[in-house]
Structure 1
């Protein structure tokens, strides 16, 4: 019996159906991965026509293989410039650590661009999660998340207004909210519950994050609470699946 060496980074017989016939686009995708390794990060990929001629495949197969590699985060498209070899994905820990701290640990400069900062009445679902009455006022903060100046996500945070009456006096929207809550307002992060799922961004979200509407996104829902168990924030974070991945460490008490 022969075949490719086993790898922990890909599924067994990746892309090969049980009948053994490998789709043309997938065979090309494998060859493009070799080309990507040769070109190196930031290099421009040859044009669709050039790849079609080089590998003797249809342009439709080239288009599908490249689209797959974009979704995998191996290639990046730049409007009006072409397609380029992407760098490695950023990694965020699923832990009580802020977005800012997570990126700085990787040597990446975090940033945020303010979209919305307003007071709103909580609907029934939000009120239930934050243990407040429906209609009670919350602060809504929406920001585009940046990594070395690149848009990588969109974060929407709801905080109980009564708990933080001075928030807008001390908070700088371009900075770390967690650092402000901890250092300026004395919040102790005792725990959080986080749920992760995949979604397609809405047209508005895709526009803000700068991605095509069909690009899969990673969606995180998070509720954080203080030592007495009282929740104080509800966060909805949308991240580009081609630029970020998430990691956590498991143990017997997880």
Structure 2
């Protein structure tokens, strides 16, 4: 009978030849556990000397740990990362999801502008092509750490006073409910993995090669009329998504 704790289940291939970077990564994971969240790792040069490997081997191991969210860059060093933020796939806002985990959500406004809707956007919002829409782009933060970038499109005719009445660093869903009288009741959402563009990577503060989770959402009110189309980009090393399922 196969031992469930056999090395193959830890990522070691059947032929038993373990790549050097993977062996270093495994040893580094033990170091991370000892250091704990926020602990500063030794430099690449020091790690290479400790493990008796080339610096590029250490660099590759650290790259994988970075992608997995086990470590993060801080200044010119590398520290042990905390657990990933778990965001529910629901109509709850980003604010609610982050607060439930004891973190402080905030946002930084990049853009709030009026645009003419192209045919695709107009169809998704059920407005005429050329009608004005709001485009609001905000960097998402948790405990002042940049973790995502959100672009929201809305009909200007439906929310004519958005620029005047909405505080861009606050929850947009609370604004919709409390000030605009709109309750989001359903949504279509699609998730895919992408790489950030150079501009997006700069705004979020990540390397361009870091995988991102991209969410496309169209939300509707109780009458089934679309209210928003949202494109949300989340850091793959800092976020995971959860949902509840049941068999009816």
Give 3-state SS (helix, strand or coil) of 1:106's partner. coil
Counterpart check, 1:123 vs 2:125: no
1:52 and 1:174 map into 2 onto residues whose CA distance is 44
2:8 and 2:176 map into 1 onto residues whose CA distance is 46
Q: Residue 59 of structure 1: CA displacement?
A: 1.6
Give 3-state SS (helix, strand or coil) of 1:163's partner. coil
Give 3-state SS (helix, strand or coil) of 1:34's partner. helix
Give 3-state SS (helix, strand or coil) of 2:9's partner. coil
- In structure 2, the residue matched to 1:46 is 42
Q: Residue 60 of structure 1: CA displacement?
A: 1.7
Q: Which region of structure 1 is more displaced relative to structure 2, 111-120 or 167-176?
A: 167-176
Give 3-state SS (helix, strand or coil) of 2:69's partner. coil
Q: Structure 1 stretches (4+) deviating beyond 4 angstroms? A: 1-4
Runs (5+) with no aligned partner, structure 1: none
Map Cα deviations across residues 36-81 of structure 1 (whole Å, 9 max, x no partner).
001111111111121112122222211100111011100111233x
TM-score normalized by structure 1? 0.93
Counterpart check, 1:225 vs 2:223: no
TM-score normalized by structure 2? 0.96
Cα 1:235/1:15, change in 2 over 3 Å: same
Q: Check whether the contact 2:217–2:229 (CA below 8 A) recurs between aligned residues.
A: yes
Runs (5+) with no aligned partner, structure 2: none
Q: Please, what is the CA RMSD of the aligned residues?
A: 1.6
1:1-254 pair list within 5 angstroms? 5=5, 13-80=9-76, 82-253=77-248
What is the aligned length?
248
Q: Residue 12 of structure 1: CA displacement?
A: 6.2
Q: Residue 13 of structure 1: CA displacement?
A: 2.1
2:217 and 2:10 map into 1 onto residues whose CA distance is 33
